Chains A and B, each alone.
Chain A
């Protein structure tokens, strides 16, 4: 044992300890693995494999695009390509602006004013999220399109033509109506996080309520609004169902049409790469904006409830505004579907085959959700507990998955399945694999959030009390993070249930889900057949959405 200076009556400990004999070594004894910053192989290896797996579809698309008979460049530098690119960007921008303009007043009205039924509204305005966008598009066409319900109602009044719905206007309207909840949720959270004392300070300095809103509140909200609007834009860029039904030529629709019609699928691959590039730009902008939004919310939430703004005579106008938005985004689709259902049933439309489709939908969604969460765990664990360069890189890699629109993943897996994984082509395992690639970012995100909830102090306390790394994971980390991980699984379940392009392109022949049943019926204009599965989809998807919203919004009474 090395000699230590004796410490007795005020004996001074001088800096005479043994000199460090060597520089710290990187090689470690086996006993030390599991220590912070040095992830065990059973964590980092699966994380590495899974994250790199995310790149496979993309790499394959690149190879495939290079294969084009004409070469890649002629495809990229055509007028047509520029046109599609311009359409896509214009649509995304318009949706971003539109959804923000709808959502910000709603968020303010439902958090800061004495709007009648404020608390009920704040739940209801989120509900359009449960309506799959292609179902929404279908009902919008049926209600507002040529020979639609609205025109039918107006015809006796002498109205011969409604404004053209197909093309940009319809796509924009539909996407805006079904994406504004993303902006709403972010803005509402930001509004709740803002310290009311700031507004009170402004008022005490002699500034009126309206000016306070514009000079104090809005600047603080801006990052959250921008982040939400960019999320809506990302949705618009990636969405396949709405633009296909409303016949607006953006990348997703063009890719699908090329895939269906042409033999040279390299063109589709090249377009898909451009789409990914565009989505990536939006994604990066969104994540920057979100970072800024988090920075603005540094106070850690409001400690008190802000005093509500009295709307006075304006309250009825505000109520009417909420009614119109909800009427279009929620009452219209649900109403149209219900009408068709009743009409169809009374007209002798059978509900046959619906049972099988429902079982297929639920079954595949459960399997996909479980697989995605399992795959996400190593990546999330690495990111949260062994934060380092590699963890960060792998997590970003999975995050990039948000920039892979469903149609792109679908196309890549069709190529892969047809050329290399032939025995798996059009089988359920390949479909599940594609779902995992598509929804891994979501699963990683929620698993990460859940693990972050567990303080590392608790794990250290467990180690300190004699538990091994695994014992600690089993008895502390997993039980504590389970609710969050479960919520993440439910989220994936919900999204898989509504998912269309992957299911459409990769399912076994004749194997229908609720989503594909709706799509097939709407494609043929047989809306009556689409009503029952679409309503079922909404009901089955609405339940977990409500649960998730209740769990994720801060548990704070709003009285």
Chain B
């Protein structure tokens, strides 16, 4: 069944509707190697959750555990409030009501597009109607009699999506769905897929290692590292308030300056900065390049330095500065500022900064 669309899914988590997906303490070992380690992950109805992490962190295995292609060693997986997997009990994949879009699409090469989509549907009068509906949804009306190899990569992608959505699964899993598309096509297909999932009011888990994809597409992001979810939050939350330096460095561009905290103030080479929360003792200050401001050298709050390199991207530019004490700093600026390598500048920080405790002399 498909839940009604929800505007702000996060707020509904208090309501007694069971979560579409709930993984609790899920672990999986291959031999002696723990691949998924105490994973906690949930998704509310109608929500798109991105599972983001570097390659080899256990994302795909987590997805396969949810789909039922692997057996877990510990923990519980519930789909729509029903336990589908525990160490002692496991529902076979065909009975889990979990749809999957495979990385290489896995379209059945010997069946037409229509029969691919029909594959998961029960026999009966409804079937034909449902195929048309699913193909309409992905904008492929009239292609039911084509063979998969006659379609472009983007079309195959949408057939895979239609096939997964046709039986109205409780949740759809997408495994790196855009990695097989070239970059020109990717952003367009991404937006299409997002719209299709919204139209279908589907709950979806999207596995990706592309932070931009995760940030722009999903309602919430679960960041995975070493087999476990280290933070699950909205994109804004994740970007501005990562729970660790690791997450900060993985999501977006982050640089860390040593500082000395006392209450809500942090002393750094860039001056005395306001902190987002109180911290005492040695800390690292997280600086996103766009929060660094550069002005021509002058007296004022901040530190002076020399511009070394300028990377021009069109919509913005990244400027590398060496401060006079030797610290390297990156600043993201609009492209109209006339800064050139060799210029002397004053660097300062906009807004309050996030701090992480510094143990000994790290980094």
Residues of A that sit less than 8 Å from B by CB: 1-2, 4-13, 15, 17-25, 28-29, 31-32, 34-36, 455, 457-458, 460-468, 471, 475-476, 479-480
B270 within 8 A of A: no
Q: Which 6 A-B pairs have the closest CB atoms?
A: A17-B25, A465-B120, A20-B74, A24-B73, A457-B106, A10-B237
Whether B40 pairs with A457 at a CB distance below 8 angstroms is: no
Contacts between the two chains (Cβ within 8 Å), count: 146
Q: A7-B13, A10-B233, A464-B100 are in contact. Are A18 and B75 (CB under 8 A)?
A: yes
Residues of B contacting A464 in the complex (Cβ-Cβ under 8 angstroms): 67-68, 93-94, 98-100, 120, 164
Minimum CB–CB distance from B49 to chain A (whole Å) comes to: 10
Given contacts A21-B74, A460-B93, A466-B95, 11 further A-B contacts (CB under 8 A): A4-B40, A22-B87, A25-B87, A25-B88, A28-B71, A32-B90, A460-B100, A460-B102, A463-B92, A464-B120, A479-B110
The docked-state distance in angstroms from the alpha carbon of A21 to that of B27 is 11
CA distance A21 to B71 in the complex (A): 16
Which residues from chain B contact A8 at a C-beta distance below 8 Å? Answer: 10, 13
Interface size of B in residues (CB-CB distance below 8 Å) = 58
Chain B residues near A4: list those with CB within 8 A: 22, 24, 40, 42
| B67 surroundings in chain A (CB, below 8 A) | 460, 464
Decide if A466 touches B104 in the complex (CB within 8 Å): no
* List of B residues within 8 angstroms of A29 by Cβ: 88-90
CB distance from B223 to the nearest CB of A (A): 10
Q: Does B119 belong to the interface (CB within 8 Å)?
A: yes
Q: List residues 190-232 of chain B with CB under 8 A from any CB of chain A.
A: 222, 228-232
- Indicate if B124 sits at the interface (CB-CB under 8 A): no
User: By the criterion CB–CB under 8 Å, are B24 and A461 in contact?
Assistant: no
Chain B residues closer than 8 Å to A22, beta-carbon distance: 87
B:102-124 near A, CB below 8 Å: 102, 104, 106, 108-110, 119-120
Asked if B312 CB lies within 8 Å of chain A CBs, one says no
A461 close to B76 (CB less than 8 A):
no
20 pairs, A vs B, C-beta closer than 8 Å: A2-B76, A4-B24, A4-B42, A6-B13, A9-B237, A10-B234, A17-B39, A17-B40, A24-B73, A29-B90, A34-B92, A35-B90, A36-B69, A457-B102, A463-B69, A464-B93, A464-B120, A465-B94, A471-B94, A480-B109
Shortest distance from the beta carbon of A482 to any chain B beta carbon, whole Å:
9
In angstroms, how far is the closest chain A Cβ from the Cβ of B174?
12
Asked if A13 contacts B40 (CB within 8 A), the reply is yes
Bound state CA distance, A523 and B119, in angstroms?
Answer: 61
Report how far A457 CA is from B175 CA in the complex, Å. Answer: 12
A350 to B228 CA separation, bound complex (whole angstroms)? 82
Residue contact B27 to A20, C-beta cutoff 8 Å: yes
Docked-complex contact A2 and B92, CB < 8 angstroms:
no
Measured CB to CB, the nearest residue on chain A to B11 is A8
Contact with A along B106-147 (1 / 0, CB 8 A): 101110000000011000000000000000000000000000
CB contacts (< 8 Å) of B167 on chain A: these are: 465-466
Within 8 Å CB of B231, what residues of A? 10, 12-13
Return the CB mask of B20-51 against A: 1 if under 8 Å, else 0. 00101111010000000011101000000000
Q: In the complex the two chains form, is B24's CB within 8 Å of A31's CB?
A: no
* Contacts A8-B13, A9-B237, A21-B74 given; does A463 touch B94 at CB 8 Å: yes
| B241 contacts A by Cβ under 8 Å | yes
Closest Cβ–Cβ distance, residue B99 to chain A (whole Å): 7
A31 to B95, CA, bound (A): 10
What distance in Å separates the Cβ of A458 from its nearest Cβ neighbour in chain B?
5
Known contacts: A25-B87, A463-B94. The answer to whether A17 contacts B75 by CB under 8 A is yes
Pick from B38, B88, B99: contact of A15, CB under 8 Å: B38
Bound-state CA distance A461–B100 (Å) is 7
Collect the chain B residues with CB atoms within 8 Å of residue A35's CB: 69-71, 90, 92
Per DSSP, chain B at the interface is: mixed
Residue pair B40, A460 in contact (C-beta under 8 Å): no
In the bound assembly, the distance between CA atoms of A34 and B119 in angstroms comes to 20
Name the distance in Å between A546's Cβ and chain B's nearest Cβ: 25
> How far does the Cβ of B70 sit from chain A's closest Cβ, in whole Å?
7
Q: How far is the CA of A109 from the CA of B295 in the complex (A)?
A: 71
- Taking the closest CB of chain B, its distance from the CB of A226, in whole angstroms, is 35
Report Cα–Cα, A11/B29, bound state, in Å.
28
Chain A residues with CB under 8 A of B102: 457, 460-461
CA distance A222 to B24 in the complex (A): 55
Beta-carbon contact of A15 and B92 below 8 Å: no
Alpha-carbon gap, A23 to B73, bound state (A): 7
B94 touches A20 (CB 8 A): no
**Chain A interface main SS type:** loop
Query: How far is the CB of B44 from the nearest CB of chain A, in Å?
Result: 9
B94 pairs with A466, CB closer than 8 A: yes
Contact A20 B73 (CB under 8 A): yes
State the Cβ distance, A55 to closest chain B Cβ, in Å: 31
Indicate if B78 sits at the interface (CB-CB under 8 A).
yes
User: Would you give the shortest CB distance from B129 to chain A, in whole angstroms?
Assistant: 18
Shortest CB–CB separation between residue B176 and chain A, in angstroms? 12
From the candidates B106, B163, B228, name the one contacting A460 in the complex (CB within 8 A). B106
A18 near B106 with CB under 8 A, answer: no
Given known contacts A2-B24, A15-B228, A460 and B91 CB-to-CB distance under 8 angstroms: no
Q: Which residue of B lies closest to A22 (CB)?
A: B87
Asked if B339 is at the interface of the complex by the 8 Å CB criterion, the answer is no
Chain B residue, CB-CB nearest to A29: B89
B243 close to chain A: CB less than 8 A: yes
Contact A18 B91 (CB under 8 A): no
In the bound complex, residues from chain B placing their C-beta under 8 Å from that of A460 are: 67, 69, 93, 100, 102, 106
CB <8 Å contact, A20 and B88 = no
Contacts of B10 in A (CB 8 A): 8-9
Q: How distant is the Cα of A12 from the Cα of B119 in the complex, in angstroms?
A: 40
Report A28 CB to chain B, min CB distance, Å: 8
Contact flags B63-87 to A (C-beta < 8 A → 1, else 0): 0000111110111101001000001
A203 to chain B, nearest CB (A): 32
**From B75, B120, B233, contact of A466 by CB (8 A):** B120
**Given the complex, which residues of B lie within 8 Å of A457, measured CB to CB?**
102, 104, 106
Query: Which of A1, A7, A10, A15 counts the most chain B CB atoms within 10 A?
Result: A7
Chain B: CB-nearest residue to A460:
B69
Q: Measured between alpha carbons, how far is A54 from B22 in the docked complex, in Å?
A: 50
- Asked if A480 meets B110 with Cβ closer than 8 Å, knowing A7-B232, A460-B69, A460-B102, the reply is yes
Asked if A24 and B104 make an inter-chain contact with CB atoms under 8 angstroms apart, the answer reads: no
Measured between alpha carbons, how far is A200 from B322 in the docked complex, in Å? 46
Q: Are A13 and B229 in contact (CB-based, < 8 A)?
A: yes
**In the complex, what distance in Å separates the CA atom of A7 from the CA atom of B90?**
26
B26: A residues at CB distance < 8 A:
17
**Residues in A neighbouring B104, C-beta threshold 8 A:** 455, 457
**Alpha-carbon distance A1/B69, docked complex (angstroms):** 23
Are B93 and A20 neighbours in the complex by a CB distance under 8 Å?
Answer: no
Taken together as a complex, chains A and B put the C-alpha atoms of A465 and B98 apart, in Å, by 8
Q: Smallest Cβ distance from B306 to chain A, in angstroms?
A: 37
B90 closest partner in A (C-beta): A32
Q: How far is the CA of A10 from the CA of B102 in the complex (A)?
A: 30
Min CB distance, B155 to chain A, in Å? Answer: 17
Contacts of A471 in B (CB 8 A): 94
Q: Chain B: which residue is nearest A12 at the CB level?
A: B243
Report the separation of the CA atoms of residues A424 and B74 in the bound assembly, to the nearest whole angstrom.
56
Chain A residues, CB < 8 A from B91:
31
CA distance A467 to B68 in the complex (A): 13
A5 touching B243 by the CB < 8 A rule?
no
The residue on A at minimum CB distance from B247 is: A12
| Separation of A507 and B160 alpha carbons in the complex (Å) | 55
Known contacts A4-B42, A29-B89, A466-B95; A461 and B106 CB within 8 A of each other = yes
Given contacts A13-B229, A17-B24, A20-B25, contact A455 B92 (CB under 8 A): no
Across the interface, B106 reaches (CB within 8 A) one of A1, A9, A31, A455, namely A455
